[in-house]
């Protein structure tokens, strides 16, 4: 079994949303403090938008959540989603087959 496949990939936004809810911080207030549009923050927290290096660093500054942990979560999430994409898996198989014939 592939090490990146699980029942449901864990998006870093889910972890961040739990953290701000635990702390009782409103999304709107956090967005203002981070200088980020509320809609962008909400999309990240609701797993509709990926984190970037810059947003990971902003969350680290605002919440103390290490950016390198968020980077790993986002990378693992991306790998899990890609591994669950059947059409992409077929494309990879075609590439492997073509390269093996070289």
Q: For residue range 34-44, list pLDDT tens digits in order.
A: 999 999 999 99
- Contact between 77 and 6 (Cβ < 8 Å): no
Q: What is the average pLDDT value for the chain, to the nearest integer? A: 93
Q: Quick one: pLDDT at residue 3?
A: 53
> Which stretches in the chain have pLDDT values below 50?
1, 4
Question: 77 near 66, Cβ under 8 Å?
Answer: no
Tell me what pLDDT residue 6 has. 56
Is this prediction's pTM over 0.75?
Answer: yes
Closest C-alpha among 88, 54, 93 to residue 74: 54
- Give the pLDDT confidence score for residue 1 in this predicted structure: 44
pLDDT at 48: 97
């Amino acid at each position: 079994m592939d090490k990146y496949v699980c029942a449901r990939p864990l998006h870093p936004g889910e972890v961040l949303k739990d953290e701000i809810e635990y702390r009782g911080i409103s999304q709107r207030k956090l967005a203002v403090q981070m200088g980020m549009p509320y809609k962008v923050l909400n999309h990240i927290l609701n797993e509709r938008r990926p984190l970037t290096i810059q947003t990971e660093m902003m969350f680290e500054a605002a919440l103390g959540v290490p950016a390198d942990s968020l980077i790993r979560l986002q990378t693992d999430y991306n790998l899990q989603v890609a591994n669950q994409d059947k059409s992409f898996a077929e494309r990879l198989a075609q590439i492997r087959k073509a390269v093996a014939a070289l």
